[in-house]
Amino acid sequence: MPAPLRVVIVGGGTAGWMCAAALVGAVRPGVCEVRLVESDEIGIVGVGEATLPQIKEFNEYIGVIEADFMRKTNATFKLGIEFVDWGFKGSSYIHPFGVHGKPMGGVPFYQYWTKARQGGRTDDIEDFCLPIVASRLNRFDFPTTDEGGINSTFAYAYHFDANLYAGFLREFSEARGLRRTEGKVIDVTLRAQDGHIAAITLNSGEVIEGDLFIDCSGFRSLLMGKALEVGYEDWTPWLPCDRALAVPCERTGPLTPYTRSTAREAGWQWRIPLQHRTGNGYVYSSRFISDDEAAATLLANLDGAALDDPRPLRFQAGRREKSWHRNCVAVGLASGFLEPLESTSIYLIQVAITNLLKLMPARTIDPALVEEFNRLVDVEYERVRDFLILHYHANTRDDAPLWTYCREMDVPESLRRRMSLFQHRGHIHKYGQGLFAPPSWLSVFVGQGLRPAHYDPLVDNLPYERIVAEMDALRDSVALAARSMSDHAAFVDDYCASPAAVRLREGVAS
């Protein structure tokens, strides 16, 4: 039996602990020996609080019990993201984790909706989507698995406290034998013959050797960026936000089962409801607003009293030219950053981990594995990038220079083609791999105000009266199904109330 592969993870943020949990949870002990190094002095970003439904698969894969994880991370359910004031001031739409309507005769529902609109009907496409209607009513229930039933037409994700999630995964990993070392990496030694990483040195003087190094050191990108000097592709011209201020506030009002993103003068503000507090932040472009003005805007737009001072964060949209180079794989912020508008960072961590597990190398690394890993990561990054740019670019706001800049900027050719196809005949090409699926594109296209010039002529195969009758019946069944769901707060309380939420409730009651 060959000696186990020595894997060294540098960093204990969400990326580091997700890697650790996956490796100790999924790989047999004799195959690899995993160590994680993190520095308490440096700390973690800790603001990744909204997720995509895929995280449920990750948690299930490593064997996490949902209610336990939710209780320990103050988590709530998420059915989508509401975008307020994005296309134009006064607008609101939800990007749901679910579909709008049902195809008829193999043709997507929105093609019929387009014909009905052109015929003078004023139906809102959101009324045909269960997770949207449920979100607007603050309702939640688990989806069913009876394919075709209305309650099987959506998925869900979570909002959680990112610091607690990292802690939860740490406990999980250490219980399964992971060795964690607290310490600061102060030096990286490269092998003379091939430039691979031989070892890292900690401030304690300890030298840790490894066969495979996973760089989860966050924006510092200590191994991939600094030691191996892999360059960074800057996407700021398309995604100009480069700073954020994050602040939690008291929880007030109903517990919404969705994230809210409100467009502001120089960026956008997030609102993420947790069981015991609400997370908020203003993501903005320093070209268009000062830090002080951004802080004032954020603090003036909270639901309840701020629980801390706003915490500043700086970043640059883009990605490393390679996510796997020599014997180092960068995961998380060390591999790139795309703003959290669509909650994609943790998803990108998950994708990197899943692909690494599939392409796990031996001590001698086959270059084909490296090439394939980088190709898969690139595809994901570019698809998310295009989707994010769409939110900024397709706007008709005339109240602030950021929005004019974004409307007038050149966009990547891949996005330009997608927009043209939709505007021509409502066509949305389904990707073979990666985010996002057509229902997501549809919600943002329509929500941002784009409309197809024509509908698919196959729609004319059905009589108009039948189309509108089907639409009416569908809208009624969506409304009924949403009203039959539980109140989100009551559901969370019953399923996974956290100690902090219970204290809050008792404090409020007394």
Ligand X SMILES: Cc1cc2nc3c(=O)[nH]c(=O)nc-3n(C[C@H](O)[C@H](O)[C@H](O)COP(=O)(O)OP(=O)(O)OC[C@H]3O[C@@H](n4cnc5c(N)ncnc54)[C@H](O)[C@@H]3O)c2cc1C
Instruction: Tell me which residues touch ligand X (CB under 6 A).
Output: 10-16, 37-39, 42-45, 47-51, 162, 184-185, 216-218, 220, 222, 244, 246, 281, 313, 315, 332-334, 340, 343, 345-346
Closer Cβ to ligand X, 31 or 313, answer by number: 313
Closer Cβ to ligand X, 153 or 350, answer by number: 350
Q: In the bound complex, what is the minimum distance in angstroms from residue 225's beta carbon to ligand X?
A: 11
Q: Angle CA(131)–CA(137)–CA(142) in degrees, nearest 5?
A: 45
Q: Which residues 6+ apart lie within 8 Å of 509 measured at CB?
A: none
Q: How many CA atoms lie within 13 A of 452 on its CB side?
A: 22
Q: What is the 3-state secondary structure (H, E, C) of 124-180?
A: CHHHHCHHHHHHHCCEECCCCCCCCCHHHCECCEEECCHHHHHHHHHHHHHHCCCEE
The single residue of 56, 72, 78, 184 carrying the catalytic annotation is: 78
Q: Please indicate whether residue 322 is annotated as part of the active site.
A: no
Q: How many CA atoms lie within 13 A of 369 on its CB side?
A: 19
Residue 18, token pair as written in the block: 């997700």
The values of phi and psi at residue 423, to 5°, are -70, -25
Q: Angle CA(350)–CA(271)–CA(433) in degrees, nearest 5?
A: 30
Q: In the bound complex, what is the minimum distance in angstroms from residue 469's beta carbon to ligand X?
A: 41
Partners of 94 in beta bridges? 82
CA distance 97 to 399: 31
CA distance 289 to 420: 32
Using alpha carbons, select from 84, 47, 51, 78 the residue that is nearest to residue 261.
84
Residue 159, token pair as written in the block: 């909002």
Q: In the bound complex, what is the minimum distance in angstroms from residue 474's beta carbon to ligand X?
A: 32
Helices H, strands E: what count in the chain? 15, 23
Closer Cβ to ligand X, 227 or 394, answer by number: 227
Q: In the bound complex, what is the minimum distance in angstroms from residue 362's beta carbon to ligand X?
A: 26
Closer Cβ to ligand X, 210 or 332, answer by number: 332
Neighbours of 232 (CB within 10 A): 16
Overall residue count recorded for the chain in this entry: 510
Closer Cβ to ligand X, 48 or 447, answer by number: 48
Closer Cβ to ligand X, 100 or 325, answer by number: 325
Q: In the bound complex, what is the minimum distance in angstroms from residue 68's beta carbon to ligand X?
A: 21
Q: In the bound complex, what is the minimum distance in angstroms from residue 17's beta carbon to ligand X?
A: 8
Which residues are catalytic, by number?
78
